[in-house]
Amino acid sequence: MSTSDGWLAAALVPLLALVPVLWRIAYGSPKDRLIGQNLTSLLAGLVLLLAARGFHRTSYNDVALVVSVLGPTGTLIYARFLDVLPDSRLVRWTALAGVPATVLPLCVATGPGRAMVKLLLIGALLIAGSVVTSGRGGKGGVTA
């Protein structure tokens, strides 16, 4: 098993984590569905970062960058329409644990340079977006 296969195998982990998220989105309450939407964009960003490394295509990181910007924006839009912005410990801890655990090995493998700065930027955007949309600093329960 080569190293690129290792990265792709690592990408399989957040990808498989999307299966229970799909279940919650399809059958959950409005609150669960919003948390699921938030978690989906976070996990998809991680999958894209790992897959870009596994395919040896640094330019694929652009897709992850777009996800990290569009995901939290979409969550906030849905929060506006569904009138609920739940604070979710699951999303927060997935972001705080999963993103560094993904981005830091990728940075080590990439080495210093522009690509690493971009990786760090994507990681920071993913964490910031998830913390903003899942934080208790929001109104916790119902928002206007």
Partner 1 sequence: MTDVLIVVALLLVAGAATAAVLNRDPVRQALVLSFLGLTLALLFTFLQAPDVALSQLAVGSAVTPLMILLTVRKVRRRPGSGGDGADKPAGRER
Q: Which residues in this chain contact partner 1 in the complex, by CB under 8 A? A: 1, 4-5, 8-9, 11-12, 15-16, 18-19, 21-22, 25-26, 30, 33-34, 36-37, 40-41, 44, 47-48, 51-52, 54-55, 57, 59-60, 62-63, 66-67, 70, 73-74, 77-78, 81-83
Residue number, 43 or 127, with CB nearest to partner 1: 43
Report, in Å, the least distance between residue 22 CB and partner 1.
6
Distance separating alpha carbons of residues 45 and 69, to the nearest angstrom: 10
Give the number of other CB atoms < 10 A from CB of residue 57. 11
123 in Cβ contact with 91 (< 8 Å)? no
48 in Cβ contact with 67 (< 8 Å)? yes
Residue number, 15 or 115, with CB nearest to partner 1: 15
Residue number, 42 or 112, with CB nearest to partner 1: 42
Angle at 35 between CA 37 and CA 82, to 5 degrees: 80
Closest C-alpha to 49, from 125, 113, 112: 125
Report, in Å, the least distance between residue 11 CB and partner 1.
6
Residue number, 51 or 103, with CB nearest to partner 1: 51
